Amino acid sequence: MSWAAHEFENYFIQKHIGTKASFLGVVIGAQLPDMFTKAFVYAADDAAAFHRGWPGVGFSHSLLFGVVFAVAILGITKSRAWALGVLIGHWAHVLTDVADTAGVMLFFPFSMEPLTISMWKHAAVEGRYGDAAAYYSSLGGVWDLFWLAVTLIFAWRTLTASYFRDVVIPADPRVWGWIHRTFRLPERALLLLYQGLMFYGIGRMVAWFLYARFDAKTPFQPSWGGPEYIAGNDISDSGWVEVLIRTGIGGVLFVAFMWAGWRLFGRRLWQRGYDVPAAVRGPGIHAILELPSSKRRTVGAEPV
């Protein structure tokens, strides 16, 4: 599992989605795989198998799980920005978790073979504190640092007040507006809420790293498949050829299922949905005023 990387990635994703998807949707999507399961994972006898396998709650880390939630959100709210945001956030989380030794059942239920590159050990068996110490003693901690650097170098603009005002709010005016009205939060407070996730990620990363070094005193072993001081938690004993074949079959079946789902009801559901004005006419002032330069996409879109 990854720790702060799940927070940092959201801003990098935001840079690329612009006004097409909701940032809050991405955040919720990124938390979705662990939202209802993480607390039980640490209490399980075989934490890795329960977290990522079947039987267990490993289905929460499959691509289809994100699709089911996105379809439900699109059906209920008709918001394309939210459906897309939740889907992107969820898939980003799932793909990130491929890096630990437990891996993810990417194409569940079409393939139950966990896919992993075994960069660091899944250490939930050590309990929450032990998991954190192991993660920040392995390449996992370096992975967090990598995503922090990527976000600060390539997506620093997404953290500015002007970007928040011009892109993030117009991409999801209803929910930000609801938070503003319900909790009587001015724009500055909304910005703190938005930027808070980034600082939370940094704080979490530094605090757990210090905990690993000075409290748990675990050895820092950032080598592939580390740390060495704990046993591996690979939940599959298949060779890489078996993994590739099963995952390949699962992938083909998943794509076929998605195509059939799109043809049967997905396309109709998408057409019934709406885009926010900013996604249709462009960010900033274009979201409010229709200018000659703001026409970008008009098909299937209606103003909110």
Partner 1 sequence: MLYIVIAYFYKPILLNWIIGPLFMLITLHIIPTLLRGLRDKVRMRFTG
Contact residues for partner 1, defined by CB under 8 A: 39, 128-129, 185, 188-189, 192-193, 195-197, 199-200, 203-204, 206-208, 210-211, 215
Q: How far apart are CA 242 and CA 118, in angstroms?
A: 16
- Taking each helix axis as running N to C, give the angle between helix 187-210 and helix 5-17, from 0 to 180 degrees, rounded to the nearest 10: 140
CA-to-CA dists, residue 99 to 46, 105, 199, 282, angstroms: 19, 12, 24, 36
Least distance to partner 1, CB of residue 189, Å: 4
Q: What's the half-sphere exposure (Cβ side, CA atoms, 13 Å) at 138? A: 27
Least distance to partner 1, CB of residue 197, Å: 5
Q: Whose Cβ is closer to partner 1: residue 211's or residue 274's?
A: 211
Q: Whose Cβ is closer to partner 1: residue 184's or residue 240's?
A: 184
Least distance to partner 1, CB of residue 93, Å: 15
Q: Whose Cβ is closer to partner 1: residue 174's or residue 213's?
A: 213
Question: Which residue has 């026409």 as its token pair?
Answer: 295
Q: How far apart are CA 245 and CA 253, in angstroms?
A: 12
Q: Are 88 and 13 in contact (CB under 8 A)?
A: yes
Q: Whose Cβ is closer to partner 1: residue 171's or residue 212's?
A: 212
Q: How far apart are CA 166 and CA 163, in angstroms?
A: 5
Least distance to partner 1, CB of residue 279, Å: 26
CA-to-CA dists, residue 178 to 29, 160, 175, 248, 267, angstroms: 19, 22, 5, 44, 29
Spell out the residues 6+ positions from residue 154 whose beta carbon is closer than 8 angstroms to its own.
12, 15
Question: Which residue has 């996604």 as its token pair?
Answer: 279
Q: Whose Cβ is closer to partner 1: residue 51's or residue 286's?
A: 51
Q: How far apart are CA 161 and CA 58, in angstroms?
A: 38
Q: Whose Cβ is closer to partner 1: residue 59's or residue 209's?
A: 209
Q: Whose Cβ is closer to partner 1: residue 54's or residue 211's?
A: 211
Q: Are 130 and 216 in contact (CB under 8 A)?
A: yes
